Amino acid sequence: MLLAEQLIHYGSRENVVVLALPRGGVPVGYEVAGALRSPLDVLIIRKIGCPGNPELAAGAVSETGVEVYNEDVLAMYRIPREYLVTEVKRQREEIARRAVRYRSGKGLIALTGKIVILVDDGVATGATMNASIATLREEPLQKLVVALPVAPPSTAEEIRRTVDEWICVQTPERFGAVGNFYADFSQVSDEEVIRLLREADRNYRETAGDLP
**Total number of residues shown for the chain:** 212
Q: What is the CATH number of the domain that holds 145?
A: 3.40.50.2020
- Is the pLDDT at 211 greater than 60? The verdict is no
What is the domain range of residue 202? 2-44+102-208
Is 78 a domain residue?
Answer: no
pLDDT at 128: 86
Number of domains in the chain: 1
Exposure b/e, 101-129, CB count within 10 A at least 16 = b:
ebbeeeebbebeebbbbbbbbbbbbbbbb
- Is the pLDDT at 212 greater than 60? The verdict is no
Q: Which residue has the higher pLDDT, 191 or 209?
A: 191
pLDDT class of 50 with cuts at 50, 70, 90: very high
Is 137 a domain residue?
Answer: yes
Instruction: Please give the mean pLDDT across all residues of the chain.
Output: 93
Is 72 a domain residue?
Answer: no
Strands 115-119 and 143-150: parallel
Q: Which residue has the higher pLDDT, 176 or 29?
A: 29
pLDDT tens-place string over residues 92-142? 999 999 999 999 878 889 999 999 999 999 998 888 898 899 999 989 999
pLDDT at 210: 67
